[in-house]
Amino acid sequence: MATQPVSDVVINRLPLYLRMLTFLQREGKTITSSQELSERLDFSSAQIRKDLSYFGEFGKQGTGYNIEYLQKQLRQILHVDHDWEVVLVGAGDLGRALVHYQGFAPQGFKLVAIFDNAPQKIGMTVGDLVVQTMTELPRVVRSKNVRIAILAVPEEVAQQVADELIELGIRAILCYASITLSVPSDVKVHYIDPVAGMQSMMYYL
C-alpha cells in the first residue's frame, strides 16, 4: 500500500494498467515490462514505473513484471479483489441499458437493485431485477450494506437523490447526470458525461 499521498491522476491510471494486463494475459503472455505497457498505452514507461512505485516494487530490472502477480497486487490496491454490491437509481433508457451491460459482474460489481419514482416503471422487470419504488431504497441499502450507487437520473433531481444516497451510507457514486454534485469530502463521485466528451473532442476537429 502507498506510503505517501497519491494523486487522483495516478489512481485513475491504475485500472487502465489492470485492463491491459488482462489483455496481455489473454494473449498468452506471463511476463510484461513497462516498455511494453507504454507501447500499448498512452503513457511513458517512466510514468508507469513511477505510478507503480507508489505502492511497492512489483518487477525486477531486466525481467519485468509477472502479469498474474501484478494483476493481484493492483486488484488489492484498488480494493476490487472481492465483490461489491451496487444499487442503480434511474430506470430510464440509460438505466435499463446499464442493467444489461455485461462488464460489471466479471470485474466484481454486482447490481442488486434498481429504483425509480415513476409509477409506470415500478414493477417492470429489467434483466434479472424488478424496478422498485424509491421508498424501498433505505431498506435495500441498509440490509445489504451497499456502499456504491450508480446515478442515472435527470440532472434536476440528481443532487436530491445523491443526498439521500449519502445519508444512507453510500460512499461512491458513478454519476451519469450532467451536473456537478455537492458531496462531503469522504464521498467519491466519478462522472460520465458523453456530451461533454463529444464537446471536448470537437476542439481538435
CATH number of 8-77: 1.10.10.10
3-state secondary structure 141-159: HHHHCCCEEEECCCHHHHH
The overall pTM is greater than 0.85: yes
| pLDDT < 50 regions, the chain | none
The predicted structure's pLDDT at residue 146: 97
Instruction: Decide which of 3.30.420.40, 3.40.50.720, 3.90.1010.10, 3.40.50.2300 is the CATH code for 84-198.
Output: 3.40.50.720
- Least Cα distance to 29 among 81, 57, 68, 63 occurs for 68
The predicted structure's pLDDT at residue 1: 56
Distance in angstroms (rounded) separating the CA atoms of residues 66 and 2: 20
The predicted structure's pLDDT at residue 13: 95
The predicted structure's pLDDT at residue 42: 87
Strands (E) located in 40-128: 59-60, 64-66, 84-89, 109-116, 125-126
Question: Residue 99 in contact with residue 88, Cβ under 8 Å?
Answer: yes
